Amino acid sequence: MTGASEILWEPPPENWQGSQIGRFISWLESDRGLRFSDYDSLWQWSVTDLAAFWTAVWDYFDIKASAPYQEALAQRNMPGARWFEGATLNYAEHMVGGARRVRHADGAAIVSLSQTRPTVRITPDELEDQIARARTGFVRLGVRSGDPVAAYLPSVPETVAAYLACLSLGAVWSSCAPEFGTRSVVDRLGQVQPKVLLAVDGYRFGERAVDRTSEVAEIRDALPTLEAVVTLPYLYPDDVRVGGAIGWHDFTAEAGPLAFDPVPFDHPVHILFSSGTTGLPKPIVHGHGGVLLDQLKSMAFHQDLGPRDRLFFFSTTGWMAWNWLVSALATGASIVLADGNLLHPDLAAPWKLVAEMGITAYGASPAFMTACRKDGLVPRQVADLSTLRSLCAGGSPLTPELFRWVYEAVGDDLYVQSFSGGTEVAGAFVGGAPVLPVRAGEITCRWLGCKVESFDEDGRSVVGEEGELVLTEPLPSMPLGFWNDPGGARFRSTYFERFPGAWHHGDRVTISAEGTLVISGRSDATLNRGGVRLGTSEFYTVVEALPEVVDSLVVHLEDADGGAGELILFVVLAEGAELDGPLRARITGDLRRYLSPRHVPDLIQPVPGLPRTITGKKLEIPVKRILTGTAPDVAASRGALQDPNSLDPFETFARRRSLIDLTAGAQATGGSPVPVATITSEE
């Protein structure tokens, strides 16, 4: 890769001063006496003089602190960097303050789209009232600073209000989306041991009603620390159907005062969960101040959002992108929430939202864009996209073909960016900048404050060749650690063991001499289906609970065009068992019920045994490499395996793959194959 690939968009000259990042550059000159001739010199300063850069961000956005900080960066090493010690503030206060500055044409801070109820528009005053009522409800239930609060709610205004009310008290938020099955929820929330659970009774996905009352009861019974369950009557608006639960109306009955309790800079703000590749999903804890600073920087400088903008990025409440979306309120931008099947009745539906909602910044997954491209859809012909200024793609890389398709089919004067980061940092650290050109197939730049490098196997920084993505300087938004990880041993081994002193993110990346990037995929076994990361261990827990299945292994083969790809589940059957229609149906049914529709494989394939190391670890990555053409002896060392011949069946399967098409996938899953791009919540 080089930085000389095709340029698809050049920023207008006025962006150097007229964009949000341009205004920051002008402010740095007038207020700090600093001059920067280009983005690269600005980035170099931001990752070299960390204290000066993050202090500038603090001052530029006028962070409201009840107590001042003594030093911006008291300790620079990783892990253990100490930011803005002594400062006390509250993340939620800045979201509410930003919402007061919304200047969108319809005056709404939040627009909520749903297939369960009519569209709802929430003004800043109404949002404040909802937050104040939820805060009073939490106080009545005995929620205090530091208490964990859990949610099993859809992406609706009540969830935003409860989230910000929880944070206003210094309580700690964690969330699972309602399409998660009981086991997925308990695996996550059971580690958090929440005091209060906020839950929904059900929802609609397209034309289908999905009742969740029994799941809520099961979750409640599995969480012994719960002192109260509050249910939102969403599918059944006139009825509280979970026994012993408090109805939302009663929970929010009192309009108490709206207040924001100051907490230390690194006080826990929320717990986000990893995908669960090698065990239970990791409960990742972030701090009020770090997330606030980083997301203000990202939303303003890199997304270029301000008070007249409206951001839409589809996410369920179980993904980091939902918290990221809500953070746009701090810039004065309004946001669009969505719940249900956005692709109902067709692929054009999400694009029509741009005109209906006055969206200026639009987020879409590469898998969705691939589906539109393959279907021959031209969004600019089916919807009025005149308000649209920018389009961003997250969850997986945007291919050169998709970059070109956007400029041909969506708009030829859009600021388009492919960005990447993760749950671990509650945001992104590479993406676009509105003062830089957009190149086909490349991520434009490393974001301000993010010292991203590519390391070879020996920990040397490399340019122009693929390596491991690392951060060699700390970020304020890096996790405080894992919840219930005494001493931080698990946290350190996860991110800092491979390259001591540097954050090892787990992506493969190539950085050009010009600073553009190409991320080629995960270096671990995490699956990325339709832009959503799925952990393999969750599959195994469900599948191997069936008496007919002795062992299992799952791999995801990406689509070279950026589509959903193919998810293959290999199973080792018990003696006498057959992979017949009923067993296939039970496997897919349990995965759908206990996990989510995204976990349903395209193909289930029996094998005589699985390759395992001498210590018993399944070799998922070597199997994936064999399926994509790597010789077994290259993919793994046979001497390190319990059974040196266990790789051979996968090589045989790979040789026969040309005979297996989507029809076989349909037979494997007991129905017609559905592109994962069309699965947005519940199939």
In the 3-class helix/strand/coil scheme, how is 377-436 assigned residue by residue? CCHHHHCCCCCCCEEEECCCCCCHHHHHHHHHHHCCCCEEEECEEEHHHCEEEEECCCCC
Amino acid symbol at 161 = A
DSSP state of 461: B
Contact 602, 662 (CB under 8 A): yes
Angle between helices 648-656 and 620-627 (to 10 degrees): 30
Return the structure tokens found at 50: 């960390």
The larger pLDDT score, comparing residue 3 to residue 251, is at: 251
Q: What is the pLDDT of residues 577-612, one digit of tens each?
A: 999 999 999 999 999 988 888 899 999 999 999 998
Name the CA dihedral angle for 301, 306, 309, 312, rounded to a multiple of 10 degrees: 50
Rounded CA-CA distance 665/649 in Å is 19
Contact 328, 360 (CB under 8 A): no
Nearest to 148 by CA among 483, 423, 481, 422: 483
Residue 573 lies in a domain: yes
DSSP state of 212: -
Rounded CA-CA distance 212/202 in Å is 5
CA-atom Rg of the chain in angstroms: 24
DSSP string, 138-163: HHHTT--TT-EEEEE--SSHHHHHHH
Q: What is the pLDDT of residues 477-490, one digit of tens each?
A: 999 999 999 899 99
- 376 Cβ contact list (under 8 Å, min separation 6): none
Return the structure tokens found at 84: 């803005």
The larger pLDDT score, comparing residue 529 to residue 161, is at: 161
Q: What is the pLDDT of residue 597?
A: 87
Secondary structure of 594-657 as H, E, C letters: HCCHHHCCCEEEECCCCCEECCCCECHHHHHHHHCCCCHHHHCCHHHECCCCCCHHHHHHHHHH
Rounded CA-CA distance 153/151 in Å is 6
Return the structure tokens found at 568: 């293959």
DSSP state of 221: H
Beta bridge partners of 364: 393
Per-residue pLDDT band for 522 (boundaries 50, 70, 90) equals: low
Instruction: Please state, rounded to an integer, the average pLDDT across all residues of the chain.
Output: 89
* 677 has a pLDDT exceeding 70: no
Give the torsion sign (CA, 476, 481, 487, 489): negative
For residue 23, which phi and psi values (nearest 5 degrees)? -65, -35
DSSP state of 668: H
Q: What is the pLDDT of residue 665?
A: 36
Report the percentage of the chain scoring pLDDT > 70: 91
Q: What is the pLDDT of residue 239?
A: 78
Listed range (18-27, 89-98, 222-231, 269-278) with the worst mean pLDDT: 269-278
Q: What is the pLDDT of residue 674?
A: 29
Over residues 269-274, mean pLDDT: 93
* 661 has a pLDDT exceeding 70: no
Amino acid symbol at 666 = A
The larger pLDDT score, comparing residue 639 to residue 352, is at: 352
For residue 664, which phi and psi values (nearest 5 degrees)? -65, -35
Over residues 275-284, mean pLDDT: 70
Whose tokens are 């929320």? That residue is 270
Beta bridge partners of 572: 551
Whose tokens are 């001499």? That residue is 513
CA atoms within 13 A on the CB side of 193: 6
Q: Is 608 exposed, middle or buried (0-12, 13-18, 19+ CB in 10 A)?
A: exposed
- 97 Cβ contact list (under 8 Å, min separation 6): 64, 330
- 486 Cβ contact list (under 8 Å, min separation 6): none
Rounded CA-CA distance 79/480 in Å is 9
Q: What is the pLDDT of residue 277?
A: 42
pTM: 0.83
Residue 632 lies in a domain: yes
Q: What is the pLDDT of residues 485-514, one digit of tens each?
A: 989 999 999 999 999 999 999 888 999 999
Nearest to 85 by CA among 60, 61, 65, 62: 65
* 533 has a pLDDT exceeding 70: no
Residue 360 lies in a domain: no
Contact 553, 621 (CB under 8 A): no
Whose tokens are 């969480």? That residue is 223
Residue 561 lies in a domain: yes
Contact 563, 582 (CB under 8 A): no
Residue 546 lies in a domain: yes
Classified as helix, coil or strand, 313 is strand
Listed range (139-148, 226-235, 621-630, 633-642) with the worst mean pLDDT: 633-642
Over residues 433-457, mean pLDDT: 96
Amino acid symbol at 336 = V
Classified as helix, coil or strand, 520 is strand
Q: Which residues of 206-243 are buried (b: 16+ CB within 10 A; e: fewer)?
A: beeebebbebbbebbeebeebebbbbbbbbeeeebbbe
Residue 197 lies in a domain: no
Over residues 333-348, mean pLDDT: 94
Q: Is 42 exposed, middle or buried (0-12, 13-18, 19+ CB in 10 A)?
A: buried
Over residues 527-554, mean pLDDT: 80
Beta bridge partners of 85: 71
Contact 47, 69 (CB under 8 A): no
Rounded CA-CA distance 201/237 in Å is 9
- Domain of 638 in residue numbering reads as 527-678
Phi-psi region of 86 (alpha: psi -120 to 50; beta: other; left: phi over 0): left
Residue 278 lies in a domain: no
For the chain, the domain total comes to 1
Rounded CA-CA distance 572/579 in Å is 10
Let me know the angle formed at the C-alpha of 545 by 622 and 608, rounded to the nearest 5 degrees. Answer: 45
Ranked by mean pLDDT, which of 115-129, 241-255, 274-288, 595-609 comes out on top? 115-129
Classified as helix, coil or strand, 167 is helix
Residue 131 lies in a domain: no
Q: What is the pLDDT of residues 199-211, one digit of tens each?
A: 999 999 988 999 9
Check which CATH number belongs to the domain holding 556 and give it.
3.30.300.30
Per-residue pLDDT band for 301 (boundaries 50, 70, 90) equals: very high
Per-residue pLDDT band for 667 (boundaries 50, 70, 90) equals: very low
Q: What is the pLDDT of residue 637?
A: 66
Rounded CA-CA distance 470/451 in Å is 8
Return the structure tokens found at 302: 């890199």
Q: What is the pLDDT of residues 51-74, one digit of tens each?
A: 999 999 999 999 999 999 999 999
* 257 has a pLDDT exceeding 60: yes
Q: Is 614 exposed, middle or buried (0-12, 13-18, 19+ CB in 10 A)?
A: exposed
Cα separations (Å) of 599 from 282, 308, 672? 19, 39, 15
Over residues 240-252, mean pLDDT: 91
Over residues 309-333, mean pLDDT: 94
Over residues 350-369, mean pLDDT: 92
Cα separations (Å) of 368 from 377, 495, 528, 532? 11, 31, 14, 12
Contact 413, 420 (CB under 8 A): no
Q: How many CB atoms are located within 10 Å of the residue 513 CB? A: 10
Amino acid symbol at 163 = Y
Rounded CA-CA distance 378/607 in Å is 43
Element (H, E) at 509: strand 503-511
